Amino acid sequence: MLSRWTGGELVRLQCYEGIDASQAVYEWDYSRQLLHLRALEASRREIDEDELYSQRFLVKRPLLRAIAHDGDVPPVLLIDEVDRADDEFEAFLLEILSDWSISVPELGVMRAGTPPIAILTSNRTRDVHDALKRRCLYHWISHHDFERELAILRVRAPEVPDALAREVAAAVESLRSIDLYKPPGVAETIDWAQALATLGSSTLDERAVETTLGTILKYREDQERARARGLDELVREAVARGA
């Protein structure tokens, strides 16, 4: 949405455990370099190391693409799920976000003429360091309400009967009111509605909920909490709310 509004390119960096600079910043295209070396040897030309380590063989990963962009409109850099990366990568990322420059030993320092618009997301699987948070404007995105969840469900899973979609959205809203270890997100809502529709359900009932509970709740403890609360009560509330 932001990239469409500004007209800048959307550059996405998906963080994960073990991510390092070669996946996030740059790497050299060794296979092309090797082919180039063989071509030089076949033509008996002198090998120039500077030619081997030139922009021609540089593979720009998301961070370098965002910094070394061309044009007047800055890109939108989405650093997704930063909490999944380890502490070392977070410290490395902090350094880049501080001065928007990257050092490539063979080419020198590359700096952003116009810094990209950076968006960082976190699911709070671990605490992000205060030094990184100090450089951000913090915004908490809460779960969608019933109407918004239903609207998303209708767009993303149009094959789900409307009555079932309403009851699923209502049931998810009710489940989120329980003290769950991992409250279901909108992705789980869509999966659950699609699973129920695939099984031929046109409305919620206790048996269908029990059969598909692992689609919406991913932890055994959360399933036990939902059962202790009463799946029959969950269904009654959902049917009433969705009516």
Confidence of residue 72 (pLDDT cuts 50, 70, 90): confident
Interval 155-167 mean pLDDT: 94
Q: How far is CA 222 from CA 186, 191, 209, 214, 235, in A?
A: 17, 17, 14, 10, 17
Separation of alpha carbons 67 and 125, rounded Å: 28
Separation of alpha carbons 193 and 14, rounded Å: 27
117-120 and 76-80: which strand pairing? Answer: parallel
Residue 46, pLDDT > 80, answer: no
**What are the tens digits of pLDDT across the range 175-230?**
999 988 889 999 999 999 999 999 999 999 999 999 999 999 999 999 999 999 99
Confidence of residue 52 (pLDDT cuts 50, 70, 90): confident
Confidence of residue 173 (pLDDT cuts 50, 70, 90): very high
**What are the tens digits of pLDDT across the range 128-141?**
888 888 888 888 88
Domain boundaries, given as residue ranges, for the chain = 2-25+61-133, 146-242
Confidence of residue 170 (pLDDT cuts 50, 70, 90): very high
Assigned fold of 2-25+61-133 = Rossmann fold (3.40.50)
